[in-house]
Chains A and B, each alone.
Chain A
Amino acid sequence: MKSYDLIIVGAGIIGTACADYASQQGLRVAIVEPGPIGGGATAAAMGHLVAMDDDPAELALANYSLGLWEDFTQVAQIEYNRCGTLWVASSDAEYAHIPEKIARLAAVGVQAELIDGEQLYRLEPALQRGLAGGMHVAREAVVYPPGMARHLLDRARARGALLYSQRVTAITQQGVQLDDQTSLAGSVLVATGCALPELLPQLPMRARKGHLVITDRYPGLIHHQLLELGYADSAHGDADSSVAFNVQPRPTGQILIGSSREYGSETSQVSMPMIQRMLERTFRYLPALRQLDALRIWTGFRPVSADGLPYLGRVPEHTNVWVAAGHEGLGITTSLGSARLVIDQWLGRAAAIDARPYDPARAVACV
């Protein structure tokens, strides 16, 4: 039986980030992935690197990760584009809350600035008139997530990590069993996102479906990742379905349009009623988009843990099984910090940020 220090199950952005960091730390790593690299939620994601200030633990992890992303700005296949984030206030009430947000972000070192109505239209002339203003976070960026997953995997493989294209059928005392009846021995780190319950049913995980639409090429129409300030209500609320204005300029000149959130839909089929809701929301903010051509619509599933924070650490009642999964819509942003948090704990080191909020034990306890 082949033996490794760490067997990482899943080669999405979380699994590949773990493989990259673990191999960098000198661990002998195996990665098991039967599908395309970064082919799950990673491929469906927008790839917006963003700090959300609504939850302190989430902000700490995002901020830690955003710093780590700075090492990857020059890698071509990641398509790193520091376009900045522009949060748009649709009402005076939303505008009035911006200073609090700026203060919360500033407390961890993220610089954001208040934008009045006039400045808003200078930054984004295509926005609908009548908006109150917004918040500009200049250093945030967009990336191409499957490109990042492949880059991280390539680095890990260059350091000797091995990729197995099988499926893990079971976690055993020694390691994992694969679907070709072979086994691998070592510590196991499960990073399978929405598929987590197949291997770790004790950790609650729900799949939250999202839709995205990408247009043909219209370079220069928008310049920043644009979100409504009400986005957090959609992202953090628990409604069965919700939509929010969330639009991104791709380096190709294409415009990527989100976002929807939906529980209870298990097929990857596109829901036209959901697309209509999402686009109507988009047209409220960017009426010029009506006349653009859409090329493709796709769906994906965000892995949502019991409380919305990822599970990062050792699985309770297992000495040798670890987990990194459940990042909902922030997995691209927080991938690099998540990997360090888990691997540092595996190595018995103190993590760079407080690891307790992400301890999987919290979820097992509440089941």
Chain B
Amino acid sequence: MAKRYDIVIVGAGPAGLAAAEAALAQGARVAWLDAQSAAGGQVWRKDIRYGWPRQAARVITEVVNHPHATWMPQTQVIAAEQNALLLQNEREGWRITYGSLILATGARELLLPFPGWTLPGITGAGGLQALVKQGWPLDGRRVVIAGSGPLLLAAAVTAKRHGAHVLGIYEQASDAAVHGFARKLWRWPGKALQAAVLRSQLAGIPYHCGSIVTRALGEHALERIEIDGPHGTQRIECDQLAIGYGLVPNVELAQMLGCAMKQEGAHPCVDVDTSQRTSVTNIYAAGELCGIGGRDCAWLEGRIAGLVAAGADIDASLLRQQRHARTFAAALREHFKLDPYIHDLAQPDTLICRCEDVPLQALKDYDDARSAKLATRCGMGACQGRICGTALAELGLFPRSGQRPPLFPARLASLGELASSSETEGSFS
């Protein structure tokens, strides 16, 4: 028999946490789950050395220990049915049902292909941050941080804190765009403070604008990179490159549940109303999957979703704050818009699909993702096109084709043993 909860929250980042806190305060019975072993999401990921950021630690502890909360760490949603989710952890698979469902599945990094990008030693910017916080050693290693957006600063701070020798931050947006953005920051005092703190922690690390990593070189692992910048091309010897071009919403579960989408640039995000309701009754979405908006926006939307799902009223000031936070996201998008040059970095032999080793040239004869997949296996691997499909959409080649269940690689036992059935395993003799 599937266990039922008033409210199920998928994702334990700022949006999920805020939703859980708000719903619990209204007396709801809440189950919340996350693929990671500790709550906090990507932005408040627990650091093996330094723990959670101070502002997150209190609320995480409170929510995890709340008597009406059921916390399911290291748990993934592998498939969805009518009002039920199929879950899996390291040991078992099971099914839960819900009155309301709040999706807070966040975002992932946008990784774009360039020559050499698959060499060992290259990760996403957030990817490096996650690895380091989980104990991956960086002591004394020469690290370059590149790509675009404020995430680069946070990644650099984490790397430096863990003993890396950060050679520099290379931002693709122009000097004018970045400074234009900085001049607007006063409108979001929290963000301005955050930026100032990050900058102070990064003292001594050069920050270069208008700089694009065009190539990574190395025999068996990364040895050096080439960067095109305002002063021409330079080569940098390094051990580690952390490169990310911003974030894309994780909408796969919402899509599987039938929630309506809208486009944000080349990528879909969940369409919600001012109460964070999706197009599907009793399903809410909050935070990055509704469009990249950042931590503060995610927190506010999570709170709104948690209150509405629990049947409480929301006051106008909360909605006002949320709208203001969304304007920050719009400014971010405008100022960190990707230079079209980045779309042209991949060469014919550059791998696009890392799971199935498919180079760019293999895809040139196809007009849609499904034909390309059937012919080349592009997107057939374990990530189901989360990386290559997103990159191909960003490069303007073709939009990603639909996700198929399971949402993540799932043990056959989890998929096969969820319902009672007349057929049982037995001996044949």
Q: A294 to B425, Cβ gap below 8 A?
A: no
Q: Are A146 and B375 in contact (CB under 8 A)?
A: yes
Q: Which residue of chain A has its CB nearest to the CB of B424? A: A280
Q: What string of 1s and 0s marks CB contacts (under 8 Å) between A249-289 and chain B? A: 00000000100000000000010110111111111100101
B161-204 toward A: CB 8 Å interface, digit per residue (1/0)?
00000000000000000000000000000000000000000000
Q: Is B221 an interface residue (CB 8 A)?
A: no
CB distance from B84 to the nearest CB of A (A): 9
A88 to chain B, nearest CB (A): 9
Give the shortest distance, in Å, between A57 (CB) and chain B (any CB): 31
Residues of B within 8 A of A277 (CB): 421, 423
Query: A216 and B375: CB pair below 8 A?
Result: no
Q: Given the known A-B contacts A146-B375, A297-B404, are A36 and B370 also in contact in the complex, defined by CB atoms under 8 Å? A: yes
A150 to B374: give the CA distance in the assembly, Å.
Answer: 10
* CB atoms of B374 and A43 under 8 A apart: yes
Q: Which residue of A lies closest to B82 (CB)?
A: A272
Does B38 touch A at the CB level, under 8 Å?
no
- Does chain A have a CB within 8 A of B415? yes
- Within the complex, the shortest CB–CB distance from B373 to chain A, in Å, comes to 9
5 A-B pairs, CB-CB below 8 angstroms? A270-B405, A272-B79, A292-B411, A294-B412, A295-B409
Q: Is B359 an interface residue (CB 8 A)?
A: no
In chain A, what residue has the closest Cβ to B429? A130
CB-based contact B380/A296 at 8 Å: yes
Segment 391-429 of B: residues with Cβ below 8 Å from A:
404-406, 409-413, 415-419, 421, 423-429
Q: How far is the CA of A216 from the CA of B272 in the complex (A)?
A: 35
Known contacts A129-B429, A295-B384; A36 and B368 CB within 8 A of each other: yes
Query: B347-371 toward A: CB 8 Å interface, digit per residue (1/0)?
Result: 0000000000000000000001011
In the assembled complex, which residues on chain A have CB atoms less than 8 Å from the CB atom of B404? 270, 296-298
B413 touches A290 (CB 8 A): yes
Q: Are B411 and A290 in contact (CB under 8 A)?
A: yes
Q: Does the CB pair B418–A276 fall under 8 Å? A: yes
Is the beta-carbon distance between B423 and A281 smaller than 8 angstroms?
yes
Q: Say which residue of B381, B411, B413, B428 sits within 8 Å of A131 (CB atoms).
A: B428
What distance in Å separates the Cβ of A12 from its nearest Cβ neighbour in chain B? 12
* Residue B81 interfacial (CB < 8 Å): yes
Give the residue name and chain of the B residue nearest to A285 (CB). Answer: B428
Contact present for A276 and B382 (CB under 8 Å): no
A273 to B416, CA, bound (A): 9
Given contacts A36-B368, A277-B421, 9 further A-B contacts (CB under 8 A): A36-B371, A37-B371, A216-B382, A216-B409, A270-B79, A272-B86, A287-B425, A292-B411, A297-B415
The residue that B382 contacts in the complex, of A39, A272, A289, A295, with Cβ under 8 A, is A295
B88 to chain A, nearest CB (A): 10
Tell whether, in the assembled complex, residue A294 and residue B406 are in contact, meaning their CB atoms are under 8 Å apart: yes
In angstroms, Cα B428 to Cα A281, docked, is 13
Contact of A294 among B81, B375, B415, B421 (CB under 8 A): B415
Q: Are A276 and B421 in contact (CB under 8 A)?
A: yes
Chain A residue numbers with a CB within 8 Å of B370 are 36, 39
Q: Which of B81, B406, B409, B412 contacts A289 (CB 8 A)?
A: B412
Are A284 and B425 interface neighbours, CB within 8 A? yes
List B contacts of A36 (CB < 8 A).
368, 370-371, 374
B419 lies within 8 A of A276 (CB): yes
Give the distance to chain B from A61, nearest Cβ to Cβ, in Å: 26
Nearest CB in chain A to that of B369: its residue? A36
- State the 10 A-B residue pairs at the shortest beta-carbon distance, nearest first: A279-B416, A130-B428, A130-B429, A290-B413, A36-B371, A293-B409, A146-B374, A280-B423, A130-B427, A276-B419
**Chain A 120-155, CB within 8 Å of chain B: the 1/0 string?**
000000001111100000000000001100100000
- By the criterion CB–CB under 8 Å, are B428 and A128 in contact? yes
Task: Indicate if the CB atoms of A290 and B412 lie closer than 8 Å.
Answer: yes
Q: Which chain A positions have C-beta within 8 A of B375?
A: 77, 146-147, 150
State how many angstroms separate the Cβ of A297 from the closest Cβ of chain B.
5
The answer on a CB contact under 8 Å between A213 and B374 is: no
Q: Which residues of A contact B86 (CB under 8 A)?
A: 272
CA of A283 to CA of B410 in the docked complex: distance in angstroms?
15
**Within the complex, what minimum Cβ distance (angstroms) separates B428 from chain A?**
4
A38 proximal to B (CB < 8 A) = yes
B304: min CB distance to chain A, Å: 31
A298 to B428, CA, bound (A): 30
Q: What is the bound-complex CA distance between A129 and B427, given in angstroms? A: 7
A294 with B79, Cβ < 8 A, contacts A276-B417, A281-B423 known: no
Residues of A with C-beta under 8 A to B409:
216, 293-295
Tell me whether A273 and B419 are in contact in the complex, defined as CB-CB below 8 angstroms, given that A128-B428, A289-B412, A294-B411 are known contacts: yes
Chain A contacts with B in 170-224, Cβ cutoff 8 A: 213, 215-216
Min CB distance B357 to A, Å, is: 11
Q: Mark A55-95, 1 if CB is under 8 A from B, else 0.
A: 00000000000000000000001000000000000110000
Residue of A nearest to B95 (CB): A272
Are A91's CB and B417's CB within 8 A? no
Task: Say yes or no: A280 contacts B416, CB within 8 Å.
Answer: yes
A319 within 8 A of B: no
CA distance A130 to B81 in the complex (A): 36
When A130-B429, A215-B412, A284-B425 are in contact, do A272 and B418 touch as well, CB less than 8 Å?
A: yes
Distance between Cα atoms of A341 and B390 in the complex (Å): 45
Contacts of A296 in B (CB 8 A): 380, 384, 404-406
Flag if B411 contacts A293 (CB, 8 Å). yes
Question: Pick the contact of A275 from B368, B411, B416 — CB < 8 Å?
Answer: B416
Partner of B413, one of A270, A281, A291: A291
Q: With A36-B371, A279-B415, A296-B404 as known contacts, state yes or no: A272 contacts B81, CB within 8 Å.
A: yes
A131-B428, A272-B86, A290-B412 as given contacts; A297 in contact with B421, CB under 8 Å: no
Residues of A within 8 A of B428 (CB): 90-91, 128-132, 284
Question: Which residue in chain B gives the minimum CB-CB distance to A298?
Answer: B404
Closest chain A CB from B346 CB (angstroms): 24
